[in-house]
Amino acid sequence: MYGRLLTIQDVSCVGQCSATVALPVISACGIECAMLPSAVLSNHTGGFSAWTFRDLTDEMPKIEAEWQRQNIKFDAFYTGYVCPPQIDPILSIMKSAAKPGALRFVDPVMADNGKLYTGFGDDFPAQMARLCEGADYILPNLTEAAFLLGRKPVLEGYDKAFIEEMAAGLHALGAKNVVLTGVSFEPGLLGTAVSDGKEVRYDFNPRLARTSHGTGDVFASVFAGAAMRGLSALEASALAADVVCAAIEATPDDHWYGVAFERVIPLLVERLG
Ligand code: PXL
């Protein structure tokens, strides 16, 4: 039994991010993936010029109460893009719907390239930090890590000591394992720093010429699925990075809104055995 994971993030109907990534990718890992939508959007907010947005906060306590009535429980939770008023309802669900020992994966989706995503105010990172407290794994990029710590993002010119001090700060928020993404000490390599609070280990891949929207969601989904299959944090992180790189390489140049991850599902299935 590999278990059942509940992912809590938005449904962007078009754009290959959040739920439309998590459901197929986590399923491909052999893990049952249930979902609690935080919002419904016509398309994601990164790169499209406009979108519709319906916040689903009001549904959360109703769904939680129904799950309690039916004794529906989960082996793991994976949170992604959520709305500012949802931190308390989500914390409540992660408590009431947890099987004993349930894992918490938190991808603090809110920012990239030094900036908060459109729609999030300056007070949101402090709220997101509350989700990180008690998480088994948090998966911030360098921008999100800085915002979680109330600092200005530093995206280049840093060293290992800087990354390791940042990881220590994130552990101090109450996260057991920290996986920092987008780490680079030399121009040709891009990777992750994986910390269990005692040791920081690194994994790098060659930096690709292109970037793509939604890669963070592919990374987090593979990571959560692989960790539930028993891989260590470093192994899960290395696999997730390999899948992201292969997906970017498989994405046609005119496919601008996301990453064509479906083309590398066979690779993911094969690597998980
Ligand atoms: O991929 C992260 C993400 C998820 N959901 C929505 C987004 C973004 C990034 O822009 O806009 C709605």
pLDDT for 221 beyond 70 = yes
SS3 116: strand
- pLDDT band at residue 2 under the 50/70/90 scheme: confident
Architecture of the CATH domain 4-272: 3-Layer(aba) Sandwich (3.40)
The pLDDT tens digits for 256-272 are 999 999 999 999 999 99
The pLDDT, as a whole number, for residue 1 is: 62
Sign for the CA dihedral angle at 238, 244, 192, 118 comes to: negative
Task: Output the CA 17–ligand 1 centroid distance in Å.
Answer: 6
- The rounded distance, in Å, linking the Cα atoms of 248 and 43 is 20
Task: Output the CA 45–ligand 1 centroid distance in Å.
Answer: 6
Residue 6 pairs in a beta bridge with 34, 77
Question: In Å, what is the CA distance from 50 to each residue of 43, 45, 53, 84, 256?
Answer: 8, 7, 10, 20, 15
CB atoms under 10 Å from CB of 126, counted, come to: 12
CB atoms under 10 Å from CB of 272, counted, come to: 18
Ligand 1 within 6 A of CB of 117: yes
What value does the mean pLDDT take over residues 197-217? 96
- The rounded distance, in Å, linking the Cα atoms of 248 and 263 is 10
The pLDDT tens digits for 109-126 are 999 999 999 999 999 999
Predicted structure pTM score = 0.98
Task: Output the CA 46–ligand 1 centroid distance in Å.
Answer: 6
Delimit the domains of the chain by residue range: 4-272
What value does the mean pLDDT take over residues 201-208? 98
Task: Output the CA 111–ligand 1 centroid distance in Å.
Answer: 9
- The rounded distance, in Å, linking the Cα atoms of 153 and 173 is 17
Ligand 1 within 6 A of CB of 15: no
Q: Which of 170, 211, 164, 210 is nearest to 183 (CA)?
A: 164
Nearest CA to ligand 1 atom 12: 44
